[in-house]
Homo-oligomer: A and B are copies of this chain.
Amino acid sequence: MDIQKLTIGQMAELNRVTRQTLRHYDMEELLKPYDTDPETGYRYYHVNQSARLDMIQYLKFCGMSLDQIKEQLQCADTNEIQHFLTQQLGFIDQSILKLNQSRRAILRAIENYDRYKLLPQNPEVFHERLPARKIYTHTSQINFFNQEESGYEMMLRELKQSLLDRNLPVGYFCNVGTIIRKEYLARRELCSNEVFVFLEDDFTGIEQPEVLPGGQYVCICSDDFYQEADLALRLLDYINEQGYTIIGDYICEVIADLPFFDKSPRNMVYKIQIPTL
């Protein structure tokens, strides 16, 4: 192989790129062949041009676009290059952060389905010890229990917008829930204008998030959206009968949200939880 005059195919093979890529870089003025036959248009490369190709690939690997790379290879100031690299580092760190969020979002989805499968088939009261959980709450004008499903949907839209406004990852818009505050509960008043999402334990995007206390809860599950009020009252009756004391807010957590199966709006499984002593 003549090192001095490589055809595009040889140059491509030597550097493990495709011919198309080299043509593309030629067009984009990123890497011009050192010679082009004016008659045939054949491109001829020199092996030394690999250095520039290396640098292009390296910068590409660092996450730069071809335009950015072109700019960098033109600018001769090392300070500027260092500044650019530092900036690029920031971008990458952000990407990693995002991917980690995606990762956790997927893990949560998988957990969701696991929990969904383990649920008791019929709605019956059970006891559970739950850990403390951080939440982000949105307060709406709408009272959940006075509304049709569309009202709930609207509350969720508000919550979502609220999350987006605070730059909280949409991934969190997965496990949501509603709250009935203790005061209302004491009066058997089903009144809830607050929806929330669970935050990860290590999430620090919010200064002082509300925390649902850990401890003993009485719970009940269902997949019937319209049954919640009934179940809530049943749970309150149960608590009375057993002589327990309610020591915190009522929450209704969406365990699994499955808009897969049919065209009905929300197709979900939820778990009502009341902390008791």
Contact = CB atoms under 8 A, between A and B. Distances in A.
Interface string A123-163: 00000000000000000000000000110011011001100
Interface SS of A by simple majority: helix
B89 A58 contact: no
A141 B62 CA distance: 32
Contact of A259 (B51, B62, B267): B51
**How many protomers of this protein does the assembly include?**
2
B153 A62 contact: no
Interface in A28-55: 46-52, 54-55
A19 interface: no
Contacts of A95: 99
A65 to B, nearest CB: 14
A166 interface: no
B50 A156 contact: yes
A211 interface: no
Contacts of A260: 55, 72-73, 75-76, 81
A248 B96 CA distance: 40
Interface string A100-140: 11110111011001101100000000000000000000000
Given A48-B149, A48-B150, A160-B54, A62 B257 contact: no
A183 interface: no
Interface of A: 3-4, 14-16, 46-52, 54-55, 57-58, 61-63, 72-73, 75-76, 78, 81-82, 85-86, 88-89, 92-93, 95-96, 99-103, 105-107, 109-110, 113-114, 116-117, 149-150, 153-154, 156-157, 160-161, 164, 169-171, 173-174, 257-261, 265-267
